[in-house]
Amino acid sequence: MGKIIAIHSYKGGTGKTLLSVNLATTYARRGMKVCLLDLDFRAPSLQSLFDLNSTEYWLNDYLNGACKIEKTLIDYTSMCECSGRMLVGLANPATEALRDMSAKDRKWEMRALGRLLSLKNTLLSDGDLDVLLYDTSPGLQYSSINAIVSADIVMVVCTIDTSDIQGTKRMTHELYDLFEKKTAILMNKVPTEFLSSPNEKESIYTRFNNSHALPILKVIPCYCDVLRAGGTRIFARDFPDHPFTKHVEDIATKLEQFTRNGEEPVREPINEPVVEANLSELQCQCNYERSKE
């Protein structure tokens, strides 16, 4: 049966949405059947990225018990130019809907959890999907806790910000460990100069591991190209040779191994020549798009 992967973080803006979309696209381009759900009801963002203006039913409707999950799913397969299948479920970005979702009580959240848990049967077992990806809100909101409880694996996106690292540590004890979730960390938006030598890279790991025991799945630099794209491009589709896409492909493979075999993700090698060999990749990638023209 397929697996559910929740992408979560302590702080906002760490790259959850960007990574969820690119991971989903990568899996679909590998021929897998994927469904990506926007469970960030606080600040829905998938509809603008996928250029999907409206849908008859939102995930809000599903969680409210107003429709079946299938009604909310949009087939994005041809637009993501993949050999597999790509379905997307959107959260309603209308102001009324944001207000409505933020005013839900615990009883509603419990019912919503039941509906999320039932997706294992409807989408993974009966629907025959390989991967269900949840893009979540940061922190300890109920909607995120529900997403984590119903997931098989949590990928936590963390920056090198000290408060982010410490907050991630607290969440590990209070959330991921509590629900016995397989959890892996992804360090994102790391300044390129921090990755310019094995020693520098080692110090990133040390900074994190001093307060943490979770495995670091990957360290991704901060790319100007990604920032400049302003959340309007799917790198895994539009720029398959970009180093950011290569990182996402590697994460996709490691997560698959993690879900399939239950193996702890292998810590990224520090002293292997890959760090040296890719030094040019670590330079600011501002000219990448221009160089492709």
Ligand X SMILES: Nc1ncnc2c1ncn2[C@@H]1O[C@H](COP(=O)(O)OP(=O)(O)OP(=O)(O)O)[C@@H](O)[C@H]1O
**Total length of the chain:** 293
2 neighbors 127 (Cβ within 8 angstroms): no
d(CA 284, CA 281): 8
Taking CB under 5 A as the binding criterion, the range among 16-24, 179-187, 195-203, 212-220 that sits at the site for Mg ion is: 16-24
Q: How many chain residues are in contact with Mg ion, going by CB under 5 A?
A: 2
String marking each residue 128-157 x if it binds ligand X according to CB under 6 A: ----------x-------------------
Which residues, numbered 19-78, are part of the site for ligand X (CB under 6 A)? 40, 43
d(CA 160, CA 248): 19
Smallest gap from residue 150 Cβ to ligand X (A): 19
Residue 226 interacting partner from Mg ion, ligand X, none (CB closer than 5 to 8 Å by kind): ligand X
* Nearest to ligand X of 33, 50 (CB atom): 50
Smallest gap from residue 65 Cβ to Mg ion (A): 25
Closest among 219, 225, 210 to 275, alpha carbons compared:
219
Q: Does the protein bind Mg ion through residue 17 (CB under 5 A)? A: yes
Taking CB under 6 A as the binding criterion, the range among 87-95, 104-112, 226-234, 264-272 that sits at the site for ligand X is: 226-234
d(CA 252, CA 250): 5
Q: Does the protein bind Mg ion through residue 47 (CB under 5 A)? A: no
d(CA 134, CA 260): 18
From 9, 144, 172, 245, residue interacting with ligand X (rule: CB under 6 A):
9
Tokens 């492909």 belong to which residue?
249
From 227, 266, 274, 286, residue interacting with ligand X (rule: CB under 6 A):
227
Q: Does the protein bind ligand X through residue 281 (CB under 6 A)? A: no
Within 8 A by CB and 6+ apart from 158, the residues are 9, 10, 14, 164, 165, 168, 185, 186, 187, 188, 208
